[in-house]
Chain A
Amino acid sequence: MLRRIAGSIGSLFGSRKERELDEELAFHIEKETEENVRRGMPPGEARRAALVRFGGVAKTKDETRDVRHAVWLDTTLQDVRYGIRTLRHNPGYAAAAVLTLALGIGANTAIFSVVHGVLLQSLPYGAGERLVRIRVDAPGAGINDGRFSPPEIRDLQERPRSFADVVEYHSMWFVLLGKAEPERVQTGVVSASFFDLLGVRPLLGRTFLPGEDKHGAEAVLVLSHDYWMRAFGGDPSVVGRVFQMNDRPHTVVGVLPPIPGYPQDNDVWMPISACPFRSDPSMENDRDAGMLGAFARLKPGVTLAGAQRDLTDLAGKLEADYPKSYPKTVRLALSPVALSEELTRTARPTFLMLFGTVGLVLLLACANVANLMLARLTRRRQELALRSALGAGKGRLARQLLTESVLLALTGGALGLVVAAAGQKMLVHFAERFTPRATEIGLSVPVLLFSLGVSLVVGIGLGLIPALSPRRSLTESLQEGRERTTAGAGRLRARNLLIVTQVAISFVLLAGAGLMLRTLWKLSQVDPGFRTERVLTSRLDLNFSRYKSDDEQRAFHASLLERLQAEPGVLSVALAGSFPLNERGPANGRFRMEGRPPVAVEALPRADFQRVSPDYFKTIGVPILKGRSLEPADRKDAPLSAVINQAMARRYWPGEDPIGRRIGVDGREPGVTQWVTIVGVSGDVRQYGLANPPVEQVYFSLLQFPGLSTTCLLRTAVDPSRMERLVRADVHAIGPEQPVDHFRTLAEVHSGALAAPRLTAILLAAFAGLALTITATGIAGVIAFSVGQRRREFGIRMALGALPSSVQRMVLGQGMRPVLAGLAFGLAGAIALTRIWASLLYEVSPTDPPTYFVVAFLLGVVAVLACFVPARRATAVDPMVALRG
């Protein structure tokens, strides 16, 4: 087997050899034939006799080839054995090289596993690369990546020729009954062919059948893999079970395999016919009721550009057919977005930067090992000279060195796999912050091959270094029985060059880490506009089948607020549609301003609408800057009141007092405008991410504008996490079937908002630290080696009266020269890479002078130390000893 592999490798290089063998054998036969003719045989006979005598040309060729492969394998094994022996005799060198390479290759393997799992690997959907999401924009109406209405979905399904199929998607939560506790389940509501379009096969049971999304179909459910494991412990008998949802039985028909939580992390999936909102007849025909996402599969051979043309045509037709719904001014635009791109957009820049970083770390590691090898080569020159004197060819010696370095690299690579495996869990956690594809990360076969490939390239690259270094004649090498007084200039220059490179790369990496740390610091210093201490948040989405009317919702809210307010340890309590840094997206609404000239609906200003109970501002610590907060008096039958934030006041009432002004918003009934009086101005909060500036916000009174989606906020006198049981008990006392979940303190929410930049900064800092360590040992190694070789020179200098300190200064000066050059190159490199940093930074310039200064200083100090330690050791020697040695 081994021989066959060796053979096939050998024959890759062997076609010339093959031809030569043919020629050689032909010559032999001819010669023998001639000889036979000379002996008197007739020519035909002579050739036949020659062939007989030869005994099978093909067989000979085979045997010769076999010999070549066997010998190749033999020498390789011999080289490997010899390599292992030499490395065992130099455990310090071998360990240093292997460890350095293990860290470098391990970091690369780990990050490549992320890049491969998320960015390179094809989507875990059968239909793979032909999947698109259809995007709708109407800049004139302020719609940026909006939703489709049911009639629009029908248009998409009927019109464009580019698509093999178009399916719809939306997600809602419902309450699932039939388990021990009522459970709020996030539900993906889809066309029956949704999973067929994606190419997802069920793990158990089936997905939806054609027709199951039509009116009157039995309600069925498919469970996500994650929810199945979480809620049912992976019990396969769940298929066939019946649960109550929305006051009707739903039968579980299947379980999905683990796929990315995309478009959202849904617990269960149902066909559109089972969704009470979606299947409502009024919704069915309302062209303006945008609530759906659209996904499509391109027909084979159709490009994104082709699909785009079709969609542009469709938008034009819609504008022509329904001028009321799509006036020209809104500029309706439809476009396809490749799903692969969609799933990884936020992850790409960060992951690629990390990949670049570990690539540079590996380069550093290689430079260090190269340095070690060069140093050892100098010491080994006599051994090599001796072996060459004993008849080893130049090629054979080079091959031996190559085998050794490949051995080192492969060992390093194997150890690197351990490093990568150890970091795997943390990396998946990290990647989850950026992409739903994080679950696909793993040390899969392509990742292992990558690791092997990198190890081989590194090993071969390092093995070629000795071949590139200047050759010397045999006698010259053998004469070097003694240390020479000066170092070989060529080799030293090569090693100085390595130091320049290492310092430059380290500078770039440290600058990147520094900028990221500065960004993290800036972000953590951002005043979010609210106080995070001792606030417990939870999700309290009302079961709509139980609390259908506004009054029912109001009653629930009021009694819950009353109960919680009375609990000991609760300082204040609020219910709100959302709260800052929560995952819920913006709720944009249009409004009219009283006393301003009327404008078309599409041109109305928009703001983020929030619904909050009176104590909201007090509970999360948002100051009221002007006027008053919302009050319990702002109830159902009182005049409608709202608080706006400062950003809104500045934008729409610059230099004026907004208090007492009225804004008009759409009421429940179409065409009716409700006028709301502004009673106060609150401070701004960072509602949608710490890096995003505050948006204009209107806070309506929850008592006047109730709703199903709420969160419950508690400011407490004690540790807020201890109040969780209390909230559950009170909620269940009012509504036994009402779920409440997702308990977090506001401090956790705030810290979660920093998690992505924090993890990125930590990773970058770790890699930069690794780079700095590698570089420092590299510099120290080079200096130690060069002063070691110059011990006699120093002895002479000191014998002639030079002070140890002046010799040290000289060593330091010579050692620091390549370091300074490296700093200069590093600075230039970091500035050149500015554009890559920019998108990841927050309020830090990519050429931030303090960062660059600190990095240069740090590197300088480390380099001086790295030079100083060996310099000191060199001058500590007694001059006489040095001279005699």
Chain B
Amino acid sequence: MTPSRSDLLQGTLDVLILKTLSPGAMHGWGISQRIQQLSQDVLAVNQGSLYPALHRLELKGWIEAEWGSSENNRKARFYSLTRSGRRQLAEETESWERFAAAVGRVLAAT
């Protein structure tokens, strides 16, 4: 099976963003680069769809945004995890792992 670029389901993108932000604050472009990099280009985020997701997470209170200056001193919006975002990530990770394990078991059985 060759790895194919798959469209991301919305919920999956959310959890990926949370995960990406767990080491520290990052701006939108950085997040998109990081996801692509970590997934070895399998998960090519349609860059535009990143922003609605970021704003949704912000409004849910899982991440918060702050204006700061980027590497080359330009104004950029940096996102970071909130306390409840961190908890959400933990929950989502756990349920993802449960889900993946279940699917794996089903596939292995046949």
On A, residues with C-beta under 8 Å from B are 20-21, 23-25, 27-28, 30-32, 35, 53-57, 59-60, 63-64, 66-68, 70-72, 75, 390-393, 396
Partner of A28, one of B28, B46, B53: B28
Inter-subunit contact B28/A24 (CB<8 Å): yes
Q: Indicate the member of A57, A72, A392, A393 with the most B CB atoms within 10 Å.
A: A393
Chain A neighbourhood of B49, CB < 8 A: 55, 60, 63
Judging by beta carbons under 8 Å apart, are B51 and A24 in contact? yes
Q: Nearest chain A CB to B80's CB is how many angstroms away?
A: 14
State the total of A-B contacts with C-beta under 8 angstroms: 77
Check B27–A393 contact: CB distance below 8 A: no
Find out whether the CB atom of A27 lies under 8 angstroms from the CB atom of B77: yes
**Of residues 8 to 64 in B, which have CB atoms within 8 Å of A's CB atoms?**
27-29, 32-33, 46-49, 51-53, 55-56, 59-61
Report Cα–Cα, A30/B77, bound state, in Å: 14
Is A55 a contact of B46 with CB atoms below 8 Å?
A: yes
Closest partner residue, chain B, to A34 (CB atom)? B72
Given A28-B27, A54-B48, 14 more A-B residue pairs with CB atoms under 8 Å apart are: A25-B51, A28-B32, A28-B47, A54-B47, A60-B52, A64-B52, A67-B52, A67-B53, A67-B59, A70-B56, A71-B56, A72-B59, A392-B61, A393-B61
Nearest-Cβ distance from residue A315 to partner chain B, whole angstroms: 72
15 contacts between A and B (CB under 8 A): A21-B51, A24-B51, A24-B76, A27-B77, A28-B32, A28-B51, A54-B47, A55-B46, A60-B52, A64-B55, A67-B56, A67-B59, A71-B59, A71-B60, A393-B61
Query: Is there a chain A Cβ closer than 8 Å to B98's Cβ?
Result: no
CB neighbours of B70 from chain A (8 A): 27, 31
Please indicate the chain B residues that have their CB under 8 angstroms from the CB of A392 in the complex. 61, 84
* Beta-carbon nearest neighbor of A62 in chain B: B52
> B82 an interface residue at 8 Å Cβ cutoff?
yes
- The answer to whether residues A391 and B87 also contact, given A27-B74, A27-B77, A55-B47 and a CB cut-off of 8 A, is yes
3 nearest CB pairs, A to B: A391-B84, A60-B48, A71-B59
State whether A66 touches B52 (Cβ < 8 A): yes
Instruction: Say whether A59 contacts B59, CB under 8 Å.
Output: no
Main secondary structure of the interface of A (DSSP, over half): helix
Q: Across the interface, do A23 and B75 meet the contact criterion of CB distance under 8 Å? A: yes
B83 within 8 A of A: yes
| A63-B83 Cα distance, complex, nearest whole Å | 26
Q: CA A392 – CA B62 in complex, angstroms?
A: 10
User: Whole-angstrom distance from the CB of A385 to the nearest CB of chain B?
Assistant: 15
**Set A32, A63, A393: member contacting B29, Cβ < 8 A:** A32
Judging by beta carbons under 8 Å apart, are B76 and A27 in contact?
yes
Chain B residue contacts of A396, Cβ below 8 A: 61
Cα–Cα distance between A72 and B46 once the two chains are bound (Å): 25
Measured in the bound complex, the distance between the Cα atoms of B60 and A54 in whole Å is 24
- Contact between A67 and B77, CB atoms less than 8 A apart: no
* Least CB separation from A389: chain B residue: B83
> Is the beta-carbon distance between A53 and B47 smaller than 8 angstroms?
yes
Cβ–Cβ contact B84 & A390, under 8 A: yes
Give residues 71-103 of B contacting A (CB, 8 Å): 74-77, 82-84, 87
Chain B neighbourhood of A67, CB < 8 A: 52-53, 55-56, 59
Cβ contacts under 8 Å, B59 to chain A: 67-68, 71-72, 75
Q: Which of B32, B52, B60 contacts A63 (CB 8 A)?
A: B52
**Which chain B residues have a beta carbon within 8 Å of chain A's beta carbons?**
27-29, 32-33, 46-49, 51-53, 55-56, 59-61, 67, 70, 74-77, 82-84, 87
| CB of B84, distance to nearest CB on chain A (Å) | 3
Distance A67 CA – B53 CA, assembled complex (angstroms): 8
Beyond A53-B47, A54-B48, A393-B61, whether A28 also contacts B29 by CB under 8 A is yes
Complex contacts, A64 vs chain B, CB 8 Å: 51-52, 55
Shortest Cβ distance from residue B75 to the other chain A in the assembled complex, whole angstroms? 7
Quick check: B77 and A57 within 8 Å, CB to CB? no
Across the interface, which residues of B come within 8 angstroms of A28, CB to CB?
A: 27-29, 32, 47, 51
A32 and B87 alpha carbons, distance in the complex (Å): 32
B51 and A56 form a contact (CB under 8 A): no
Of all chain B residues, the one with the shortest Cβ separation from A66 is B52
Q: Are B48 and A20 in contact (CB under 8 A)?
A: no
Does the CB pair B29–A391 fall under 8 Å?
Answer: no
Q: Is the CB of B55 within 8 A of A68?
A: yes
CA A396 to CA B48, docked complex, whole Å: 29
Q: Which residues of A contact B33 (CB under 8 A)?
A: 35
A56 touches B77 (CB 8 A): no
**Least distance between A322 CB and chain B CB atoms (Å):** 82
- Check A27 against B27 for contact (C-beta < 8 Å): yes
Q: For residue A48, give the distance in angstroms from its CB to the closest CB of chain B.
A: 14
CB distance from B45 to the nearest CB of A (A): 10
- The smallest C-beta distance from B66 to any residue of chain A, in angstroms, reads 11
Q: Closest A residue to B87 by CB, please name it.
A: A391
Q: What's the nearest-Cβ distance from chain B to residue A28, in Å?
A: 5
Q: Which residue of A lies closest to B83 (CB)?
A: A391
Smallest beta-carbon distance A440→chain B, Å: 48
A96 to B55, CA, bound (A): 41
Inter-chain contacts of A20 with B (CB < 8 A)? 67, 77
Chain A positions within 8 Å of B46 at CB level: 55
CA–CA, A720 to B70, complex, Å? 99
Partner of B47, one of A30, A32, A66: A32
Asked, given contacts A27-B77, A31-B29, A55-B47, whether A391 binds B52 with beta carbons under 8 Å apart, the answer is no
- In the complex, what residues of A have CB within 8 A of residue B56's CB? 67, 70-71
Please give, as numbers and ranges, the residues of chain A lying within 8 Å of B61 by CB-CB distance: 391-393, 396
A21 to B65 Cα, complex, angstroms: 12
Q: What's the Cα separation between A32 and B31 when bound, in Å? A: 12
User: By CB atoms of chain A within 10 A, which of B49, B51, B70 has the most?
Assistant: B51
- A68 and B58 CA atoms in complex are apart in Å by 9
A844 CA to B80 CA, complexed, in Å:
72
* Contact partners of A393 in chain B: CB under 8 A: 61
A30 to B27, CA, bound (A): 13
The CA of A237 and the CA of B67, in the complex, are separated in Å by: 78
B75 proximity list for chain A (CB < 8 A)? 23, 27
CA distance A186 to B33 in the complex (A): 90
Nearest residue (CB) in A for B76 is A27
A408 vs B52: C-alpha distance in the bound complex, in angstroms?
34
Minimum Cβ distance to chain B for residue A3 (Å): 14
- Which residues of chain B are within 8 angstroms of A390 by Cβ–Cβ distance? 84
Report the nearest B residue to A390, measured CB to CB.
B84
> Which residue in chain B gives the minimum CB-CB distance to A71?
B59
| Bound form: Cα–Cα A75–B59 in Å | 9
A68–B51 alpha-carbon span in the complex (Å) = 11
CB-defined contacts of B87 to chain A, threshold 8 Å: 391
Distance between A870 CB and nearest chain B CB, rounded to angstroms: 41
Closest to A21 in B: B51
Residues of B within 8 A of A56 (CB): 48
- Given contact pairs A27-B74, A27-B75, A55 touches B48 in the complex (Cβ within 8 A): yes
Q: Are B82 and A24 in contact (CB-based, < 8 A)?
A: no
- B60:A24 contact, CB within 8 angstroms: no
- Point out the residues of chain A lying under 8 angstroms from B60, CB to CB: 71
Chain A residue nearest to B72 (CB atoms) is A34
Which residues of chain A come closer than 8 Å to B47, judged between CB atoms?
Answer: 28, 32, 53-55
A59, B83: Cβ atoms closer than 8 Å: no
Q: Which chain A residues border B48 with CB–CB below 8 Å?
A: 54-57, 59-60, 63
B77: which of A24, A59, A66, A68 is its contact (CB, 8 Å)? A24
In the bound complex, residues from chain B placing their C-beta under 8 Å from that of A63 are 48-49, 51-52
Query: For residue B67, which residue of chain A has the nearest CB?
Result: A20
Q: Are A391 and B82 closer than 8 Å at their CB atoms?
A: yes
Closest to A75 in B: B59
Q: How far is the CB of A259 from chain B (nearest CB, A)?
A: 55
Closest-by-CB residue of B relative to A27 is B76
> Smallest Cβ distance from B107 to chain A, in angstroms?
33
A56 to B48, CA, bound (A): 7
Per the bound structure, the CA–CA distance linking A393 and B82 in Å amounts to: 10
Min C-beta distance of B96 to chain A, whole Å = 21
* Bound complex: CA A57 to CA B46 (Å): 12
Chain B residues lying within 8 Å of A53, measured Cβ to Cβ, are 47
Residue of B47, B49, B59, B84 with most partner-chain A CB within 10 A:
B47
Give min CB distance, A118 to chain B, whole Å. 48
Bound complex: CA A71 to CA B59 (Å): 7
